[in-house]
């Protein structure tokens, strides 16, 4: 166990990376509340010993009600992991449907902002907090036919840095993790030629594991990471060092 038991909120908790994060934080001894818009979160959180809230984080009023419930029941929020995200449309920028662009930005970027804003209010009272945002290496180099995803993930990096600048004096850290291609259930469904191409361009010569993302979340959430603030950390086996990445895979 890395530190004392704290209250942690994880959005997108029913996905592959989300589940790994929840399991790791519980293993570290924290009390974890998983947020998701899917009812599949219920069984998972009950089995792993955490709590849950069903919420669409793109709806600011729903997020406000959700966080009010969490604070009422737990009196505090000390760790926030903004993990929820969607890919709403695969389309070239000129052909991207406005409604689908807006939905992706609303979930990935606006949802991260709504949760962060409310968590900060509580963390400032405590003068301690950890905000860990899931961005993507797509924020650095783009992603073919996924402009909304790339833009939303780049926006998350900007938000991460602003929070670090504004709230570091309150003992709050804000950092972004930039996963590469991680071997989740959704990635397993991708065409083999795309996955093989990414692996060949990755110095580690393999895909990442959800547990590897969770390990970094665990560290950033701990007291040992108290002087890491405003960082953007790629977890991609070194793929960001290659000028040809997933952004060019079609």
Residue 33 reports pLDDT greater than 90: yes
Q: Is 1 a domain residue? A: no
120 contacts: CB under 8 Å, gap ≥ 6: 129, 131, 163, 167, 172
**Residue 189 lies inside a defined structural domain of this protein:** yes
Is 49 part of any domain? yes
**Residue 114 known to be catalytic:** no
- Domains of the chain: total: 1
* Contact status, residue 239 vs residue 180, Cβ threshold 8 Å: yes
Tokens at 30, concatenated: 């924290």
Each residue of 162-221: pLDDT tens digit? 999 999 999 999 999 999 989 888 888 777 887 888 888 888 999 999 999 999 999 999
Is residue 88 situated within a structural domain? Answer: yes
Give me the pLDDT at residue 229, please: 98
Provide the CATH number for the domain around residue 49.
3.40.50.720
**Which range marks the domain in which residue 100 is found?**
7-248
76 in any annotated domain: yes
Q: Is residue 54 part of a domain?
A: yes
Residue 60, pLDDT score: 98
- Per-residue pLDDT, averaged over 64-91, amounts to 94
Whole-prediction pTM: 0.93
The overall average pLDDT reported for the chain is: 92
Residues 160 and 230: their CA atoms lie apart, in Å, by 6
Q: Supply the pLDDT for residue 2.
A: 41
Q: How far is the C-alpha of 50 from the C-alpha of 28, rounded, in Å?
A: 13
Is residue 2 in a domain? no
Active-site choice (52, 114, 149, 167): 149
Residues 6+ apart with CB under 8 A from 20: 209, 210, 211, 213, 214
Q: Would you state the pLDDT for residue 174? A: 98
Selected residue with higher pLDDT from 170 and 89: 170
Look at residue 240 and tell me if it is in a domain.
yes
């Amino acid at each position: 166990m890395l530190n004392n038991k704290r209250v942690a909120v994880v959005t997108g908790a029913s996905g592959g990376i989300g589940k790994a994060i929840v399991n790791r934080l519980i293993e570290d001894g924290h009390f974890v509340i998983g947020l998701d818009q899917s009812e599949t979160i219920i069984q998972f959180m009950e089995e792993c010993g955490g709590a849950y809230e069903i919420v669409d984080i793109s709806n600011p009023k729903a997020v406000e009600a959700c966080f009010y419930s969490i604070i009422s029941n737990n009196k505090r929020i000390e760790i926030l992991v903004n993990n929820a995200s969607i890919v709403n449309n695969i389309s070239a920028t000129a052909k991207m449907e406005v409604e689908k662009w807006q939905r992706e930005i609303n979930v990935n970027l606006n949802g991260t902002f709504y949760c962060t804003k409310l968590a900060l209010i509580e963390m400032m009272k405590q003068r301690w907090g950890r905000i860990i945002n899931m961005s993507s290496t797509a924020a650095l180099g783009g992603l073919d036919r996924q402009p909304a995803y790339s833009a939303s993930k780049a926006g998350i990096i900007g938000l991460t840095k602003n929070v670090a600048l504004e709230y570091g004096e309150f003992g709050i850290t804000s950092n972004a993790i930039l996963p590469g291609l991680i071997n989740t259930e959704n990635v397993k469904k991708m065409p083999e030629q795309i996955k093989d191409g990414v692996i060949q361009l990755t110095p580690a010569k393999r895909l990442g594991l959800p547990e590897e993302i969770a390990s970094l979340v665990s560290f950033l959430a701990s007291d040992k990471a108290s002087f890491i603030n405003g960082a953007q950390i790629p977890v991609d086996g070194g793929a960001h060092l290659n000028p040809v990445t997933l952004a060019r895979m079609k």
